[in-house]
């Protein structure tokens, strides 16, 4: 499998993502935001970080950068695109997935391990998953997912919610919700399920010495 990780000015998880993809057998290429063309890829990753310093709104400027035209076309033609953290914010800003990401409910950056529940494995990203509850890691200031009631109904009807924040047994409730996201949403798909945006960082959980290993299952 070939993958490409896009580096925007201010991306800071691009290297970590490269390390993870390479570890799990991807032939990965780093792509500069100012390039026009994407290399031939099976998967495009928009990594975490603070693209354009999070100025204006997180992800908004990056969503207008040159390479994003190609990324949007790639997604629309069915190619796999994944946005992690700031990458999720960029996906939201570019309209590839619905909704918005607001500032965390308690107005603080949060860096910690969380559990997430995977409901829907009927898609390319999760089809090989043999565990329902995964331990992931979050590190963000604006991960509070929000959408209108109509949008929420639509994404629920289409099974677009990819992962929910939950406790270690898979229960979702307000107490376990780290950032105030509506319905404990931690990640969502587009309608066709070839685009996935999520706040947690699987690339930080890829070996025993780190915060955990569940990222390995994900890749």
> Is 115 among the catalytic positions?
no
**Tokens matching residue 26:** 């991807």
> Is 203 among the catalytic positions?
yes
Q: How far is CA 147 from CA 86, 94, 134, 188, in A?
A: 18, 15, 25, 12
Measured from the CB atom, is 23 or 76 closer to other proteins?
A: 23
> With contact defined as beta carbons under 8 Å apart, do 102 and 146 qualify?
yes
Q: Report H helices in 14-123.
A: 14-23, 66-76, 86-93
> With contact defined as beta carbons under 8 Å apart, do 70 and 32 qualify?
no
**Tokens matching residue 210:** 């780190």
In the block, tokens 């780093």 appear at 30
DSSP state of 78: T
Q: Which of 26, 50, 145, 165 binds other proteins (CB under 8 A)?
A: 50
> Is 135 among the catalytic positions?
no
Say how many residues make up the chain.
Answer: 219
By CB under 8 A, residue 10 contacts other proteins: yes
Give the per-residue contact string, 93-132, with other proteins (x = CB under 8 A; - = no). Answer: ---------------xxxxx--------------------
* Shortest distance, position 63 Cβ to other proteins, whole Å: 16
| Region binding other proteins by CB under 8 A among candidate stretches 52-60, 63-71, 123-131, 189-197 | 52-60
| Region binding other proteins by CB under 8 A among candidate stretches 48-56, 62-70, 123-131, 185-193 | 48-56
Binding to other proteins (CB under 8 A) within 53-82 occurs at 53-55
> How remote is the C-alpha of 23 from its chain's centroid?
19
**Which of the following is catalytic: 13, 85, 147, 166?**
85
By CB under 8 A, residue 20 contacts other proteins: yes
Measured from the CB atom, is 99 or 202 closer to other proteins?
A: 202
* Shortest distance, position 79 Cβ to other proteins, whole Å: 26
- Beta pairing, strands 133-140 & 144-146: unpaired
Q: Which of 16, 93, 142, 214 binds other proteins (CB under 8 A)?
A: 16
> With contact defined as beta carbons under 8 Å apart, do 58 and 92 qualify?
no
Active-site positions read: 85, 201, 203
């Amino acid at each position: 499998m070939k993958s490409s990780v896009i580096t925007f000015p201010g991306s800071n998880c691009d290297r970590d993502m490269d390390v993870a993809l390479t570890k799990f057998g991807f032939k990965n290429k780093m792509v500069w935001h100012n390039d026009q063309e994407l290399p031939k890829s099976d998967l495009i990753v928009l990594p975490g970080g603070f693209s354009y310093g999070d100025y204006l709104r997180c992800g908004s400027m990056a969503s207008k950068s040159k390479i994003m035209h190609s990324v949007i076309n790639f997604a629309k033609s069915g190619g796999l695109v994944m946005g992690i953290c700031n990458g999720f914010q960029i996906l939201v800003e570019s309209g590839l997935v619905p909704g918005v990401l607001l500032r965390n409910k308690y107005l603080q950056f949060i860096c910690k391990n969380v559990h997430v529940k995977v409901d829907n494995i009927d898609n390319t990203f999760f089809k090989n998953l043999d565990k329902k509850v995964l331990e992931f890691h979050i590190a963000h200031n604006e991960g509070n997912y929000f959408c209108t009631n109509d949008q929420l109904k639509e994404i629920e009807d289409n099974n677009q919610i990819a992962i929910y924040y939950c406790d270690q047994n898979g229960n979702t409730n307000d107490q376990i919700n780290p950032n105030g996201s509506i319905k404990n949403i931690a990640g969502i798909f587009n309608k066709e399920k070839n685009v996935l945006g999520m706040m947690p960082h699987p690339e930080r959980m890829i070996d025993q010495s780190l915060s955990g290993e569940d990222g390995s299952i994900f890749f």
